[in-house]
Amino acid sequence: MTRTLLPREHGAYVQLALPLVTALAMGRPGGAAVAFTGLAIAAFLLHQPILLLATRQEGRARDLARGARRLERSLAGEIVLAAVLAGLAVPVAIAGGVSTEIAGWTWAAWAIGFAAVTCAVHGAVLRRKQRDPVRALVAATAATLVAIALASTRPDPLAAGLPLVAAAVVLIALAPEPRRVRVVGWTLMVASAATGVWLVALRVA
């Protein structure tokens, strides 16, 4: 039963944890930052049980819960959720003394990087299933170009999202086979960690 109540998407844990850890490392976290971190983790862990309970109800609550689960599995839904998860780190960073502007741009770096990767993964999966990947690949290309354009105009801290963008480009180019899923997962993990280290280094410098 415990397994069904925990989020099963491993990528979601990365999208929550690394921005939170980065936000804590960028500032000087005190009680407020720790409290916001706890709230973010609690919200993440409660999401799945609440949806599960709602799907077992009657009427509108069940319909809304099922609609929400379908949206979460769509490309647009995954992009939005990744941005929301990364956004949970914004109040943590601000509570730790990071300026609102830098915290906002840091969130943008995560959101754009995660969007590019999400689109690339969807495109690779669809291509391997011999289904039309055009929309996902176009979205991945667009996110990549937007990330590069923004990073050139606002290198601090948007350029920190480039490791994730680079991982997206590799996924688009190679379209790895499903049996390489672990390699893909570790590649994305390393790219995310590189983004986090870059952001912290910019803040320390």
Please report the pLDDT score of residue 95 as a whole number. Answer: 95
User: Which pLDDT does position 30 carry in this prediction?
Assistant: 93
Model pTM?
0.84
Q: Which residues contact 187 (CB under 8 A, 6 or more apart)?
A: 167, 170
Instruction: Please spell the DSSP secondary structure of the chain, one letter per residue.
Output: -HHHHS---HHHHHHHHHHHHHHHHHS---HHHHHHHHHHHHHHHHHHHHHHHHHTS-THHHHHHHHHHHHHHSHHHHHHHHHHHHHTTHHHHHHTT--HHHHHHHHHHHHHHHHHHHHHHHHHHHHHTTS--HHHHHHHHHHHHHHHHHHHH-HHHHGGGHHHHHHHHHHHHH---GGGHHHHHHHHHHHHHHHHHHHHHHHH-
| Amino acid (1-letter code) at residue 3 | R
Low-confidence ranges of the chain (pLDDT < 50): 1-3
Which of 106, 104, 126 is CA-nearest to residue 172? 126
| Whole-number pLDDT of residue 58 | 67
| Closest listed residue to residue 118, CA positions, set 65, 159, 172, 66 | 172
Q: What pLDDT score does 196 carry?
A: 95
- Looking at residue 31, what is its pLDDT? 93
Q: How far is CA 13 from the centre of its chain?
A: 9
Looking at residue 50, its pLDDT comes to 73
- Nearest partner of 30 among 93, 84, 107, 80, judged by Cα: 93
pLDDT of residue 5: 64
Domain ranges of the chain: 2-204
Measured distance CA(12)–CA(26) in Å, rounded: 21
Give the C-alpha separation, 23 to 89, whole Å.
Answer: 6
Supply the pLDDT for residue 60.
Answer: 66
- The first and second tokens of residue 205, run together, are 């410098």
**What is the separation of C-alpha 84 from the centre of its chain, rounded to a whole number of angstroms?**
8
Give pLDDT, residue 1: 42
